[in-house]
Amino acid sequence: MPLPARPDRPPAGPPHARRHAPWPALLAVLLLALLTPLAGSAWAAPVQWLTQARMLPLQPGQAADWSRAQPVQLPDDWATSRPAQQGLVAYRLALPAPVPAAVHGAGDSTLYGLSIERACSVVAVWLNGQMIHEGGRFDEPVSRHCHRPQLVAVPAALLRPEGNVLELRIRGYALAEVSSRQRAGGLSAVEFGRYETVAARHARQLLFAIRLPEVMSGALLLMGSFMFVLGWFNRAQSYLAYFGALMVGWSLLLARLWAGDLPVGNRSAELALAALMAFITLATVQFLMRYAGHRLRWLDVALPAQCLLMPATLLALEPQRLYLASGAWYIALSAQVLAAAVLYLLQARRQRSRQLWPMATLLGVVALSLVVELIAQGWRLHSQVLHVAQLLPALGFLALGLRLVQQYGRALQTAEQTRAELEVRIREATAQIERNFAQLSELKVEQVTERERKRIAADLHDDLGAKLLTIVHTSDSERISTLAREALEEMRLSVRGLTGKPVKLIDALGDWRAEVVSRLQQSGVQSEWSAPSDDEVPQTLSSRAYVQTTRILREAVSNIIKHSGASQCTVRCTIDNGDFQLVVQDNGKGIPTELDGRLDKGHGMASMKGRAKQLQGQCLVESGPGYGTVIRLTLPLEQHTMAR
């Protein structure tokens, strides 16, 4: 494993963290799932471990002189056995004939397999002088398969019962030329056995060494890009963008495990990896600082500058110093990340963020992975430990990424809700304003109208009224006086209909009673008046309805006084089902039949009916010679209550 350093990081809960998400539990389940298969290699069918070899460095253009070969014990790590060496090396191993082969002889069709967990950087396999496997390119750019376990099929037909020579040629680099011990040349022990047995073990190794990192790379890249875009367009959540960048960076970092054939040479690839570290550090530190709500301006300059400086220094040094120089840088970068993590945790603790412990756990896991990687630089570790250490941070990032997106989504939801509420409030306020405005303009219109009506009313009184009045009191003809008086009354009622406000029905009843009773009394007609009491009459009448009803009533009383010869009159007012009913009954001589045709002339019946009709009501007249007259006026109350 390569990489030393990095980041780790964990962010912790931002101040707006709400509650513990289930992600720590999720992480634990994932871990378990990851570890379980590791425990499953116990059922081992018989395999042979080939650990003895003779090693011979090959010089280009020179024939191999195996007499100069040295015996070595596999695994052979160049980092320890020959730290300064690089180039092409051949290993010869003795491969004993498998037992079944002895039984079945040359006709054995069993397929055998070789599994090489680590052959760095590229391997080719010869069996008894015949090439049976080539793992990649041996010329620059050399394939980089340090992390890829190799599986070689060995047909039984190629195996000789008397013994076999297995030759593995490795092309690798010296520790000094790479930035991680895991990419220095070397060969692990070789496993030999039946193909299916070996293949099964190989598949497991491949899963952890290549497949899972591939999957993680893809997932991180996808999610990282998503979060980067998310953060990019939401400047207030810029930490999302940095976290996205971190994920993308980590995804590229993981690519070192599975991307074997690069179009560039070892030096360029190692430099790019080292530079990637600086980038990841930038993203991590910025993320932690911003997530903690502690933005430092100078970091915005210093970190990118470091991103340029680091590859520049590595480039300036000779290739042999790469390991040392990058190691020094990794320590510096780790320190930065550590400082940011500590600062973040302090901040989170001060803000009593509920994310403190989950985030601290995550940071711890990542830090642990980092330590494992660092240890691996100095000592050989079990490959499975390394695998777990490589994958854990990626898992942690994914979990944190989900958490952040969840927070973001929730914040979005809250914002959306707030916005919706705000919108509702604005709409209400707007409606209120509109209502007020409408009321205001209505009021204004009313005021203007009112003023105008008053002016018209005053003009009518002063001019028309005065002239009619003059006619009333100066005319010699009683008929003309009466007509003028009636005209004056009409005018006044019209003006009142024009300017009047709604009248309470109870008040109207009072007015009508006073007029009817005193007029009848003056004319010597006995009167009886019945009306509902105060609390039964909450309704109001529009001034028009009041005026028209007054006219109808006045007309009816005039008829009684002038024409009926009645001695008694009953007026009954009732309210029934929202209708107002007025019944005027007299005991006079009724309306003569011969008058029926032109009833209206003297009695004004038609105008009474017309007025009732205008008010959506009706006026019925029942009369017959000898039994008086009954006038029934019915008006729907609601409409007049509403109307103004």
Partner 1 sequence: MNNILLLEDLPEIRAWLKSLVMQVFPHARITECSRVQDALLQVQSLRFDLALCDLGLPDGSGTDVVAKLRDVQPEAQCVVVTIHDDDEHLFPALQAGAYGYILKEQSRELITEQLQRISQGEPPLSPSIARKVIKYFANQNLPQANAMPAVALTERESEVLLRVAKGFTLPEIGVQLGLSRHTIADYVKQIYRKLNVSSRAEAALEAQRLGLFRR
Residues in contact with partner 1 by the rule CB under 8 A:
458, 461-462, 465-466, 468-470, 472-474, 485, 488-489, 492, 496, 507, 509-514, 517-518, 521, 529
Cβ distance to partner 1 smaller for residue 70 or 474: 474
Nearest to 151, CA basis, from 111, 117, 189, 109: 117
Cβ distance to partner 1 smaller for residue 98 or 502: 502
Torsion sign, CA atoms 390, 113, 186, 323: negative
- What's the CA gap between 394 and 396, in Å, rounded? 5
Quote the least distance from Cβ 521 to partner 1, whole Å: 7
Phi, psi of 523 (to 5 degrees): -95, 5
Q: Which residue spans within 109-261 are E strands per DSSP?
A: 111-116, 119-120, 122-127, 130-134, 150-155, 164-172, 186-187, 190-194
Quote the least distance from Cβ 418 to partner 1, whole Å: 45
Q: Residue 26: exposed, middle, or buried by beta-carbon count in 10 A (0-12, 13-18, 19+)?
A: middle
- What's the CA gap between 81 and 51, in Å, rounded? 15
In the chain, the largest separation of any two C-alpha atoms, in whole Å, equals 164
Quote the least distance from Cβ 607 to partner 1, whole Å: 20
Report helix, strand or coil for 119: strand
Quote the least distance from Cβ 633 to partner 1, whole Å: 17
Nearest to 246, CA basis, from 212, 277, 274, 273: 277
How far does Cα 624 stand from its chain's mean position? 84
Cβ distance to partner 1 smaller for residue 136 or 502: 502
Quote the least distance from Cβ 602 to partner 1, whole Å: 20
Cβ distance to partner 1 smaller for residue 432 or 474: 474
- What's the CA gap between 199 and 191, in Å, rounded? 10
Quote the least distance from Cβ 514 to partner 1, whole Å: 4
Cβ distance to partner 1 smaller for residue 230 or 633: 633
Q: What is the CA radius of gyration of the chain?
A: 54
- Spatial contact of 2 and 390, defined as CB atoms under 8 Å apart: no
User: Residue 90: which residues within 8 A CB-CB, separation 6 or more?
Assistant: 55, 56, 57, 58, 64, 167, 168, 169, 170
Q: From residue 243, give the alpha-carbon distance in Å to each of 265, 281, 345.
A: 30, 11, 17
User: 18: how many CB neighbours lie within 10 A of its CB?
Assistant: 13
Cβ distance to partner 1 smaller for residue 41 or 518: 518
Instruction: Please give the structure tokens belonging to residue 45.
Output: 């069918």
Cβ distance to partner 1 smaller for residue 38 or 464: 464
Using the structure block, give the residue that is written with the tokens 């209400």.
428
Using the structure block, give the residue that is written with the tokens 């079990």.
382
Cβ distance to partner 1 smaller for residue 267 or 485: 485
User: 409: how many CB neighbours lie within 10 A of its CB?
Assistant: 11
Cβ distance to partner 1 smaller for residue 91 or 512: 512
Nearest to 583, CA basis, from 547, 543, 622, 548: 622
Cβ distance to partner 1 smaller for residue 516 or 615: 516
- What's the CA gap between 52 and 165, in Å, rounded? 12
- Spatial contact of 190 and 92, defined as CB atoms under 8 Å apart: no
Quote the least distance from Cβ 550 to partner 1, whole Å: 12
Quote the least distance from Cβ 518 to partner 1, whole Å: 5
- Spatial contact of 485 and 504, defined as CB atoms under 8 Å apart: no
Cβ distance to partner 1 smaller for residue 367 or 569: 569
User: 118: how many CB neighbours lie within 10 A of its CB?
Assistant: 21
Cβ distance to partner 1 smaller for residue 134 or 489: 489
Cβ distance to partner 1 smaller for residue 214 or 489: 489
Quote the least distance from Cβ 467 to partner 1, whole Å: 9
- Residue type at 192 in one-letter notation: F
What count of Cα atoms within 13 Å lies in the side-chain half-sphere of residue 606?
A: 8
Quote the least distance from Cβ 564 to partner 1, whole Å: 21
Quote the least distance from Cβ 488 to partner 1, whole Å: 5
Host H or E run for residue 384: helix 383-459
Quote the least distance from Cβ 580 to partner 1, whole Å: 16
Quote the least distance from Cβ 512 to partner 1, whole Å: 7
- What's the CA gap between 613 and 180, in Å, rounded? 105
